[in-house]
Amino acid sequence: MLATSDSSFLGKHKLQIWKKIGEGSFSKVYLTKVGDAEDKNPTMIATKVINKNRVSSKFVEKFLPRELDVLVKLKHPYIVQAMCVSLQVFSVFQNGYKIYINMEFAENGDLFTHLHNTVMNESQIRSWLLQILWAFIYMHTMGVVHRDLKCENILLTSNYNVRIADFGFARFVDRGRNPGADTLCGTMTYSSPELLFGKRPYNPVVADVWAIGVVLYMMANNMAPFRDKTKEEIHKKQVSSNIAMHTNKKRRRVGKWTLGRSRPLINLTATFLEPDYVKRTKLKNALQHSWVREGNIKTPVDVITANESDRAINSNPIITQTSLKVPAFHYHLSEYGKTISKINEGFTAMDKSEI
């Protein structure tokens, strides 16, 4: 049964709960309809509701204000142009002890679920990797690190473009220096060797690069690269530098599919999953890798413009700990609307009979 308080509160803002599409220990996500109930062609958005009474005081005072401030400041042109690569947030409301984040709805779920049903070809992998790289180059240029990238946090639009989501552990860093961080964040499967067992502070930028490598591996293999029950055993496998991927000459069965990957893709993956963070690839270098370039995918003009920006966004926070002490706090960024999502020509949806 839907929470009456949520329905009532959102209804005052002309937002109607359609159904619940996700729930965690301290939050839930609704598919929400914008406008009048009689509208036959409504705009649908996702509304994330965070219950502050179910989280620690540290989360409320530190991580939540930081997440909201990052979300409202990231303004990559792909959010409003073709093939968006970052999740668009429309508004943030507070109703007593609940925070409502109204954001774009990604119709095709998340990458983790997608990989349970589909084996991707290399053209599809390349298309999504580029979108992820463009998004993270922009974020790092703007002085933001994500620190919790995983397949569950990569959402998919109706036209199979990616949206980077969940900035709960994101933070601002000083650009042009060694940005140090001390807090252990993220999921163990995606954590870099220096994050698991390195000295503090660690460099969160290169930790993001490692996580992208894990995502790339999973897109190519439909499984995680380093699997074990303890972080000690995962760390041993990470530092062994033994990336187990099968070439086209030695193919591997995954369910009803047979996998085999090209040597250039395997080599590129290894540059992301380099255990020595000093030698790990830079994102802009990855864009120039032979496997990426062989796709002949042109960088859109708006991506070039955004990713060459040198504008830092870590000053003058919009949403702060003080803001969230105001019971009726409200911040509106833009009008609710359908984001233009161009057909991703690098992605060809498989026939449903093959899934």
φ, ψ of residue 22 to 5 degrees: the values are: -170, 155
Looking at residue 158, the DSSP 8-state letter turns out to be T
What does the pLDDT look like over 53-105, one tens digit per residue?
998 888 888 888 888 787 777 776 443 322 233 445 667 888 888 999 888 88
> Rounded to whole angstroms, how far apart are CA atoms 34 and 123?
36
The pTM for the full model equals 0.84
Active site residues: 148
Give the CA angle between residues 329, 139, 204 to the nearest 5°.
100
Nearest to 302 by CA among 96, 108, 81: 81
DSSP symbols for 10-35: HHHTTEEEEEEEEE-SSEEEEEEEES
Domains parsed from the chain with CATH numbers: 13-105 (3.30.200.20), 109-309 (1.10.510.10)
Lookup result for tokens 């359609």: 18
> Rounded to whole angstroms, how far apart are CA atoms 186 and 46?
23
> Rounded to whole angstroms, how far apart are CA atoms 238 and 227?
10
The amino acid that residue 82 corresponds to is: A
Per-residue pLDDT of the chain in tens (355 residues, 90 and over written 9): 344 589 999 988 888 999 999 888 889 999 999 877 677 788 888 898 999 899 888 888 888 888 878 777 777 644 332 223 344 566 788 888 899 988 888 888 899 999 998 889 999 999 999 989 998 988 888 888 999 999 998 988 878 888 888 888 888 887 655 667 777 788 899 999 998 887 778 899 999 999 999 999 999 999 999 888 888 888 888 888 667 665 555 555 544 444 678 999 999 999 999 999 999 999 999 999 999 999 988 887 767 777 666 555 545 666 666 766 666 666 655 555 555 456 666 665 444 333 3
